Amino acid sequence: MSMQVDIPGYVAGSWVIDAASSDVTFQIQQMGFSTVSGSFDDFEGTIVTADNPRDSSVTAVIRTASVNTRNKRRDKHLQTKGYLNTKQHPTITFASTGVREDGGGILVDGDLTIREVTKQVTLKVEVDGFGVGADGTEIVRFTARTEINRDEYNVIQGVASAVISKKVDVLITAEARKQD
């Protein structure tokens, strides 16, 4: 059974995420009223769009030491043992386990691993389009959103845990280039 979601210009193939044209960002509330936004600046990923979109897959690796909240002191703190522990856990990984349709949208289920803890998450994906980039290479652009609970991954321990929200909103905007 093929998906009923309309994906204009859909192209099957293997795609590599172009980190220079993509963003992995997050937001978390602290003390109930202020929001900290940040990004991970070093990441890579591969997307395989199958003839039947339901058979498509994605894998991604994010390097935790690349956390960037535009505050060097905070970024160093986030790299410590009670937070991301970047020395012991240098990467965050995602591997899809399924693609499904939901009310005209696309959901990508997968295993998200942070600090060696793996949990199932669902990305709500919007395909912005398939096309041709400035260099003549075929590209795809998409946006994906999810929400995770930092407690489930043992991120932020100790006293700070009481004043920082458990909910982390994640937004990925990506452009990927087709591989031959």
pTM over 0.85: yes
Provide the 10 A C-beta neighbour count for residue 68: 16
Asked if 86 and 65 touch (Cβ cutoff 8 Å), the reply is yes
Q: What is the greatest pairwise CA distance in the chain?
A: 52
Measure CA of the first residue to CA of the last residue in the chain; give whole Å.
27
pLDDT at 128: 92
DSSP assignment string, 152-176: GGT-S-SGGGGTEEEEEEEEEEEEE
Domains of the chain: 13-178 (2.40.128.110)
The 10 Å CB-count burial string (b at 16+, else e) for 13-52 is eebebbbeebebebebbeeeeeebebbbeebebebebeee
* H/E element, 72: helix 72-78
Query: Could you say which residues of the chain have pLDDT below 50?
Result: 1
pLDDT at 31: 72
Could you tell me whether strands 67-68 and 43-49 are parallel, antiparallel, or unpaired per DSSP bridges? unpaired
Asked if 125 and 108 touch (Cβ cutoff 8 Å), the reply is yes
